Amino acid sequence: MQVERGQVVALLGRSGSGKSTLLRCLNGLEVIDGGRIEIAGHAMDYEPAKLRELRRDVGIVFQSYNLFPHLSVAENIMLAPGLVNGVGKREGRAVAEQVLDRIGLLDKIDAYPDKLSGGQQQRVAIARALAMQPRVMLFDEVTSALDPELTEEVLAVIEQLARDGMTMLLVTHEMSFARRVANTIVFMHEGKIRETGEAEAMFGNPQTKEFELFVRRAAK
């Protein structure tokens, strides 16, 4: 699989097909047994210093928000730039303000996670990743734990990132969103990429029986 700068790639497939594992491999959270990964100019290397360099450029957001409950929104966002890049508190606060303004949550900068809705917490998790100024963003089913209204709230942020030219790979079950936003669809089945192409062409004319069945079930 090859992804160009500025592309949005949606990874589709049934549960257990390997989508999340692929994302975790791209961020170095899973160690590959063979093959080669190069992402954002980094050849995959599991030496700790090399992984830190890669993760500066490759952000990942998970289904669970993983916010520190004892830290404010600003402190959650400032933590990684401070620890990894040595960013001071004043500059870190400015970065937090910038990314929160970008996702429409600047007014929550001093709130604590338990005072936020699920959608707001997920948007803060996205802001936290953006604070590292990544070149690539990975999203692993970030809306699967949210109700429909909060899902739209989070998807709107991702859609804006797409318009801004962010390179993104996302695992999603939101078929209409994938068709609307993704440049490329990658369909996985039993740990392998079975089909890839432009969204409208793939949904309109599936090339494999597996994807045809997946689309039919998704439409129900």
Sheet holding 192-197, edge to edge: 58-61, 136-140, 167-171, 8-12, 184-189, 192-197
What pLDDT is recorded for position 149? 83
Asked if the structure places residue 1 within a domain, the reply is no
Asked if residue 172 belongs to a domain, the reply is yes
Residue 169 in contact with residue 26, Cβ under 8 Å? yes
C-alpha radius of gyration, the chain, whole number: 18
Closest CA to 40 of 27, 31, 49: 27
Query: CB–CB of 6/167 below 8 Å?
Result: yes
Distances in whole angstroms, Cα of residue 97 to Cα of each of 85, 93, 129: 18, 6, 14
153 part of a folded domain: yes
CA gap 145, 4 in Å, rounded: 30
Number of domains in the chain: 1
Per DSSP bridges, beta strands 38-39 and 42-43 are antiparallel
The pLDDT of residue 84: 79
Give the Å distances, CA to CA, from 115 to 80, 118, 121, 181: 22, 10, 9, 31
CATH code for the domain in which residue 123 is found: 3.40.50.300
What tens digit of pLDDT does each residue of 3-62 get?
A: 999 999 999 999 899 999 999 999 999 999 999 999 999 999 999 999 989 998 999 998
- pTM (2 decimals)? 0.91
pLDDT in tens, 82-127: 887 888 889 999 999 999 998 899 999 999 999 999 999 999 999 9
Residue 58 lies in a domain: yes
Residue 166 lies in a domain: yes
pLDDT at 110: 96
The whole-number pLDDT of residue 220 equals 65
> By residue range, what is the domain housing residue 45?
8-63+71-218
Cα 50 from Cα 32, distance rounded (Å): 16
Q: With cut-offs at 50, 70 and 90, classify the pLDDT of residue 138.
A: very high
3 within some domain = no
**In the chain, what percentage of residues exceed pLDDT 70?**
99
Does a structural domain hold residue 2? Answer: no
What would the two tokens of residue 95 be? 């970065």
